[in-house]
Amino acid sequence: MSQKRYDVAVLGSGIAGSTLAAILGRQGFRVLLLEKGTHPRFAVGEAMQPQSSMLMWILGERFDVPEIQNISSTERILEHVTKNCGVKKTFGFLYHEEGQRQDPAKAHLLIPPATPLVSESHLFRQDIDHYLVKAAIKYGADYRDKTDVQDFTINEDGVVLHTTAGEELHARFLVDGSGHKSVVANKLGLRQAVPDLRTQSRTIFTHMTGFKRYDDTLPPNERPGLSRGWYEGTLHHMIDGGWFWVIRFDNVPGSESDITSIGLTLDMRKYPPRMDVTPQQEFYEIVERYPSIAKHLEGGVAVRPWVGTGRLQFSATDSAGPRCFLMSHAHGFIDALYSRGMINTFEQIHALAPRLMQALRDDDFSPARFEYPRQLQAAMIKDNDRMVFNSFRGFGDFDAWNAWLRLWLVNIIFGDLRMFRVCLKYLETGDKAEFESLDRDPLPLSTLPGESPMEDLYAFGDKTFDRWEAGEISAQEAAAAIFEKLGQMPLPPIHDWSDPAACHLDFLPEKLVQMVGWGKTVAPPSLSRMFDFDPSVLGKLAPPPVAVPELALADDVALDRVHASTPLPSTFPLQKDRALPVQLSEAAALRFDPPTPDWLQAPETSKEVPLAKGFPAQGLPPVRRTPASVTPKT
Ligand SMILES: Cc1cc2nc3c(=O)[nH]c(=O)nc-3n(C[C@H](O)[C@H](O)[C@H](O)COP(=O)(O)OP(=O)(O)OC[C@H]3O[C@@H](n4cnc5c(N)ncnc54)[C@H](O)[C@@H]3O)c2cc1C
């Protein structure tokens, strides 16, 4: 029995748990990082977004953990972390119709602006997560793998964790980063049996090698001819009822990988779970119906087992309990579409970490102290749900999808700007307090009509799609209404927002200058307040070292801090070999339940969103209700 008492026990050493453990350790707290499995291990969540990279940059800067910042740029990953990652310089969305070649007029290639601050990558998560665990160890966290915590008790002065090996571990506070099977959510009854969410999707995925770049399957006159190609980022193939992701790890000079992550996510309203085929068979059945996707994936060979999941969505009634808190992926999840998972994860860590450190110093863990991160998590989930659910609705008709994607684009531009502004204000002043302002922004879905043009635009799109789904208007009328609304909005003059044919956006540097100029002069006050930064400070990168304020630590908080320049522990070398166990690892099996008979019965009692006019179910073979089995191996 261990008598050591930690300040914080972090359950789960995924990207969330190890990032938080590194931050807390760096700031002088005694951290216990517990992992049921071992590293390196397979994990999904590979595509970044400008917001996830900026949040990593911010976390690294604010809490003096350069290892976290190393993930915020492809160059830094390749230099310091692993050569197995790819680059994400584009978001590509190709709309496909059954039995037909992809129509180049139904495609969107969106190229975010390049800045010297951060860049986005395709993360080979087994290496990234492992690297962050090593960072946590370096900053003093006690890391224990193969330690399965299935129960805990909370008493007046702390938390006692009970491992399945019969051991008791003691901490003042517990943070649960163990994902959707969260021990805390289950024990405290926070997990919603039927999530109060509209999206209903499931997914099939693997890692592959051996197929072409999409660009190479096209005749030259069908390439958009922008500053970047489809292969240079995350490519999405959209179909009625689902979407594929294509995340290459081999698409940047310096990468030594030959692997691509491939997945297909299906709207369960159109594609109910099937027990009569393997995930691989179902995947290829669908691929074969879309000639351009089939051509793209021709020659592809899976290098790890196929995984098929049940419903992806889950949520919790709360993120906090007495002396404990759920990290984002333990609280809830919607869908991989638009790569929101890591944004939610890092935004939540950014909101939680300073409050937790203050609570530890004051030895006061009252729930009121965690009110903001609690609300943030609930709001992010609802907001993501609205975004993804409407996207699935839009996939049923290109015009509708074309319109909805513009709303996402507006949302992402202003979401990115929110982070960018804070980073630039910090570079200008050198004051880390600038980062705190991120926690003062209104939460998603919290504004009243008229207060936030972006929220109003979204709410309008959502209601318009409701009317479409109810059969009151056609898809074309819904799309026209959204484009008309976009034309009325005060949006930056970097794109023809009301033109359905203006699909691509190449956000060249001059457009960034144009947008900032617009923001500082013409934009209405509700938006111009986001442009109160000096863009010339980007030239200051890297910022001069900022003095770290002395921490007023509680008596029982460790004072010895590790210097950032200390090398990472070498006891856990990164595994260069991509060939992790070629069978579904225990960790993956834990996270991805195959569809079970239990699940199949769930819709009868769930708040399932019914299919309405314009959303015909596909003619699929009947579902055979066979006993649950582990996802078959290839
Ligand atoms: C199919 C899919 C695709 C996704 N794609 C993207 C994407 O492209 N971009 C993006 O930003 N996000 C994506 N996400 C979301 C992303 O995967 C998550 O946000 C992120 O992985 C969460 O990391 P985590 O550390 O919280 O959880 P995890 O990575 O799940 O780590 C949890 C850890 O806890 C351990 N554990 C579990 N139970 C216990 C226990 N009892 N005791 C101790 N340890 C335990 C596990 O072994 C594991 O190591 C995707 C998610 C899914 C499901």
- Give tens-digit pLDDT for 149-159: 989 999 999 99
Residue 562: predicted pLDDT: 73
Least confident of 234-243, 288-297, 387-396, 588-597: 588-597
Which pLDDT tens digit goes with each residue over 305-318?
Answer: 999 999 999 999 99
CA-closest residue to ligand 1 atom 17: 45
55 lines ligand 1 (CB under 6 A): no
Give mean pLDDT, residues 390-402.
Answer: 98
- Find out whether the beta carbon of 44 lies less than 6 Å from any atom of ligand 1: yes
Instruction: Give the position of tokens 């980022």.
Output: 233
Q: Whose CA is nearest to atom 31 of ligand 1?
A: 14
What six digits make up the tokens of 128?
A: 């990234």
Q: What's the rounded mean pLDDT across residues 203-214?
A: 96
pLDDT at 78: 97
Q: Residue 575's pLDDT is what? A: 45
User: Which atom in ligand 1 lies closest to the alpha carbon of residue 17?
Assistant: 25
> pTM for the whole thing?
0.89
Task: Confirm if 230 and 356 have CB atoms less than 8 A apart.
Answer: no
Cα–Cα distance, 463 to 441 (Å, whole number): 25
Residue in 271, 283, 230, 238 with CA at minimum distance from that of residue 397: 238
Number of Cβ within 10 Å of residue 597's Cβ equals 12
- Give the CA count within 13 Å in the CB-facing half-sphere of 502: 14
Closest C-alpha among 35, 219, 207 to residue 132? 35
- Residue 325 φ/ψ, nearest 5 degrees: -145, 140
Q: Is the CB of 77 under 6 A from ligand 1?
A: no
pLDDT of residue 561: 63
29, 8 Cβ separation under 8 angstroms: yes
- Which tokens belong to 353? 């970490």
Is it the case that residue 569 has pLDDT exceeding 60? yes
- Measured from the Cα of 148, ligand 1's closest atom is 42
Instruction: Decide: 122 in ligand 1 pocket, CB within 6 A.
Output: no
Instruction: Determine the pLDDT at residue 255.
Output: 97
Q: Check pLDDT > 50 for residue 77.
A: yes
Ligand 1 center–CA 123 separation, angstroms = 13
Ligand 1 binding pocket mutation candidate from 15, 181, 304 (most atoms within 8 A of CB): 15
Phi and psi, residue 311, nearest 5°:
-60, 135
Q: Are strands 149-155 and 158-163 parallel, antiparallel or unpaired?
A: antiparallel
Asked if residue 550 has pLDDT above 80, the reply is no
628, 597 Cβ separation under 8 angstroms: yes
628 — pLDDT class (breaks 50, 70, 90): very low
* Residue predicted with more confidence, 23 or 452: 23
pLDDT at 437: 92
Averaged pLDDT for residues 570-581: 45
Amino acid at 541: L
d(CA 419, CA 167): 43
Per-residue pLDDT band for 538 (boundaries 50, 70, 90) equals confident
Residue 617 has pLDDT above 60, yes or no: no
> How far apart are the CA of 20 and the centre of ligand 1, in A?
14
Tell me, using a 6 A CB cutoff, whether residue 37 lines ligand 1.
yes
User: Is the CB of residue 151 below 6 angstroms from any atom belonging to ligand 1?
Assistant: no
Split at pLDDT 50, 70, 90, the class of 570 is: low
The answer to whether 442 touches 529, Cβ cutoff 8 Å, is no
Summarize the confidence of residues 402-418 as an average pLDDT: 97
Residue 12 reports pLDDT greater than 80? yes
Mean pLDDT of 379-384: 97
Is the CB of 133 within 6 Å of ligand 1?
A: no
Determine which residue's CA is closest to atom 41 belonging to ligand 1: 149
The pLDDT value recorded for residue 338 is 97
Residues 324 and 173 sit within 8 Å (Cβ to Cβ)? yes
pLDDT range class, residue 630, cuts 50, 70, 90: very low
Q: Does the pLDDT of residue 549 top 70, yes or no?
A: no
Q: Which residues have CB under 8 Å from 385's CB, separation 6+?
A: 197, 198, 199, 313, 334
Which of the four pLDDT bands, split at 50, 70 and 90, describes residue 74? very high
Determine if ligand 1 sits within 6 Å of the CB of residue 136: no
- Checking if the pLDDT of 167 tops 70, the result is yes
Compute the average pLDDT of residues 294-308: 96
CA–centroid distance, residue 342 to ligand 1 (Å): 9
Residue 1 in this model has a pLDDT that exceeds 60: no
Q: Distances in Å between the alpha carbon of 438 and those of 58, 125, 324, 348, 421? A: 11, 27, 23, 11, 10
* Residue 586, token pair as written in the block: 């225990």
Which token pair is 62? 């604010």
Given a cut of 50, is residue 327 above it in pLDDT?
yes
| pLDDT tens-digit map of 216-267 | 999 999 999 999 999 999 999 999 999 999 999 999 999 999 999 999 999 9
Supply 63's token pair. Answer: 């809490």
Q: What percent of the chain has pLDDT over 90?
A: 80
pLDDT at 382 over 70: yes
pLDDT given at position 541: 74
The pLDDT, as a whole number, for residue 542 is 61
Q: Give the confidence band of 493 by pLDDT, cuts at 50, 70, 90.
A: very high
Average pLDDT over residues 590-606: 32
Residue pair 558/21 in contact (Cβ under 8 Å)? The answer is: no
Q: Whose CA is nearest to atom 15 of ligand 1?
A: 341
Task: Specify the pLDDT at position 451.
Answer: 87
What pLDDT, on the 0 to 100 scale, is given for residue 583?
Answer: 35
**How do beta strands 260-267 and 301-302 pair?**
unpaired
Q: What average pLDDT does this structure show over 16-37?
A: 98
- What's the confidence (pLDDT) of residue 556? 46
Longest Cα–Cα distance of the chain, Å, equals: 70
State the closest ligand 1 atom to the C-alpha of 178, by its place in the atom list counted from 1.
34
Looking at residue 47, the DSSP 8-state letter turns out to be B
Query: Which pLDDT score, from 0 to 100, does residue 293 have?
Result: 98
> DSSP assignment, residue 196?
S
Short-list 71, 21, 22, 68, CA closest to 46: 71
State the closest ligand 1 atom to the C-alpha of 15, by its place in the atom list counted from 1.
Answer: 25
- Characterize the bridge pairing of strands 242-248 and 234-239: antiparallel
Separate counts of helices (H) and strands (E) for the chain = 19, 19
pLDDT at residue number 560: 55
Question: In whole angstroms, how large is the CA radius of gyration of the chain?
Answer: 24
Taking 90 as the threshold, does the pLDDT of residue 408 lie above it?
A: yes
Atom of ligand 1 at shortest range from CA of 41? 49
Residue 53 pLDDT more than 90? yes
pLDDT tens digits, residue range 328-355? 999 999 999 999 999 999 999 999 999 9
From the CA of 178, how far away is ligand 1's center (Å)?
8
Q: Is 549 exposed, middle or buried (0-12, 13-18, 19+ CB in 10 A)?
A: exposed
Average pLDDT, the chain: 88
Task: Give the distance (Å) from ligand 1 centre to CA of residue 14.
Answer: 6
187 C-beta closer than 6 A to ligand 1: no
